Structure 1
């Protein structure tokens, strides 16, 4: 950006230096009489324009009924003045027969006859070239066009009139009849006043069209102070600076202008252009994704893949909301791509490949953890729980609540508990049954308070430990339970989960779409081997990992 800024500043200095001591130039060309074509009856009398311009201090180059070559020579004199820095403000008055083609228009010389798009350039003065000449003095150039009327025969590719010339930045274009434009020139443009040029939009005479640059805060002659002294060159500099910025058209160039002129004349337009440049890639990206016509199932798969790779879409529902867009942008950023939040075909394929690779890695990690966990499980059972000892059985369940031998251990403990229950006095046995039915920490604590040395005291303490462990994990359990209500909220989804659990080696009990005690245990086992929070409920992460299991290999 520094290089760009320096280049512009250097250009501005040359413009300002050349403007010192410069004159105002006017070019008035009016062709009414043609050698072999009808008279341009509506063409202007040059004298009226010349008198007004000379009275305002302009150096005027004028001519009537000139050939195209003579007109080009006169325009060349103005261009020479521009190049040597002796021309400041510019006014061009062009009148006569005009012809317009697809890319340009021409004021035709007096020799013009039966021309076409192939010969118009030789028979006239290019309006596009005159506009570009005027653009060399942005904010200080006015072009007036006075059509001379129809009647000139034109060949292919041409139409009568000046057409719609492109108006460069900083140039004012007026088109209308000679009388009306003379009044505008005399009473508005050449008057030193506080009335801004923008008033022409409302005040222009009927039939006069006004296009291009119309400042809201100054008249045309306010570009010079009283006595002919040049205004501070910063104004001229801003116009030239902005003209260069528009030609470059990059965001960097526009930002440079806004840094230099934060409240400048073109700040609003600069902000709009900058916003359009920044939004254009997003619009293109959105259109590209829309053209893919992704189905809802395809979007769900994308959301699952994003989640699998650690980019949380905030839901797997087949709807790309804020969460999904943010996850897509994060995926793009991680891949060194432009962050649009919208996907291309190549990105979807890359996402699938990376998700498949990650699924395979996670599956292998889970397999290794499961093998090691089962090895330790068997070893601990052999050393501690395989006996009929109550303490050993409880130690095993404390470490492996969903272990390979958990059902065996619980069955043995239930048998021990039932045997002891039968030996209790009637009142204590009834209290124990009520405590088991309540199954709360408070109920077991109350039983222990009343019967601290009961044969079932150890059972009560063990159950308190289990319940308190669940309470410590209550927040995660409730969160996963809430997510399960969204991601597995119908029998079909639950059936798929049970089938998947069974396929990868976790016994969910009957595969019927109903989550039983066995299903909850299988879910916990899967979560434990997958290093996920162990809750027994299917969170979004659990669902993603479960559905991904087996697809990588």
Structure 2
């Protein structure tokens, strides 16, 4: 019988890599069995053992609440000292960003996702950023994201701001299953450049991304020697050949054939993992083909923008292909006769991009025609109202075209009339009117009319009340619109680009200085109105998608 035998002597040894002076923090708030499946171990305590066997100090927390995550971080930090060479941090679960930073949510979170809940119950990524920043060029953070299926409240975003990552810290981010696969590979790594491994696994790299990042270098230790008897050689060769054939075919039948012949073979665990992956994914080949494209996060964002332009809702443009994006891809493939797998090929990406560019051109032409029509109506209405030079005409024009071509001129004339009345009004009337102007609410103006029915500013008060009545929908969405724009995290360069584009379109955004003042807000409203977008004066995802598409067409 052919067999493998362990040598009875320790005189001969095989050198193997062990991580020296490396510390790891693992917080798994995704699928509780994720690491078990992907590392092929049966108990989560073995996760720690798998890394500690290589000399690493590990702090582990799974399905943790806020307190559990903080305790794991505290234990991790207590183990760090001056001799620590490399630091690894693995976080899996739902990750949400706010203007104040990003957070890993507890595993027991339920109900609507609110800003207050995130801030009080979430685990701040800034904490692990701060720890990793103490090890510049020697710290790796792996983020495995779990898709958020509930609605995201105002002030929250599912995208991770790269600007928050400290200098010298490398972040590898992707879907939780991709991150899990990388962690599995990392636990088996022999040391060296980890970046190619992360890219091959399908993760996006953010922060400090040098040409090479050698981490967790191995030091030589003596391990027991495996003595292969001559009888083993033939079976080992057959095992290797059978595995090569199975891997080349990469089918369910091929892996089952291998496992039948070599149930305890040297590649049995890999064969079982691939077999499980094929059986759980009906479009396994399509998925593998897309992964082979190694799409960057920017490339994924571009695909999401293209789908959004074509009317497919990706539920965010964040470079992460979650359920929303997969659903949009599937719908696009179905309508284009491409085989609805939810995974893209390079040819499909090229076709999608071409369709989006053509659609962007069509939308811009429609916008130009609508803008021209609105301007004709604007000029005609002005000639019958504001052009007459009286207060009633100015008010009638602004009521119909609050952001019109002559809005600044009409408002300027009314401001002059109001200032003249202010000078002539008696003190108490002037004081009450100023209070109403300061609050600038419908209730405030109604209070003024009730107290001063014959006041000098009655017409102005009635005009403001009419404005609120005519623009109630736009006013109602402003708080949400403000929060959505804040969540975009636009820097000054992005704001200047927006103002430049609005100026090129002749929408008069004012100075191109990166500051969104009232002139800029008016220009944004004009842009949104001409393109039949939600008119708020604030940037949202749909507006940014169109602005970027319009800019490409220039």
Structure 2 length-normalised TM: 0.49
Q: Which has the higher contact order (CA 8 A, sep 6+)?
A: 2
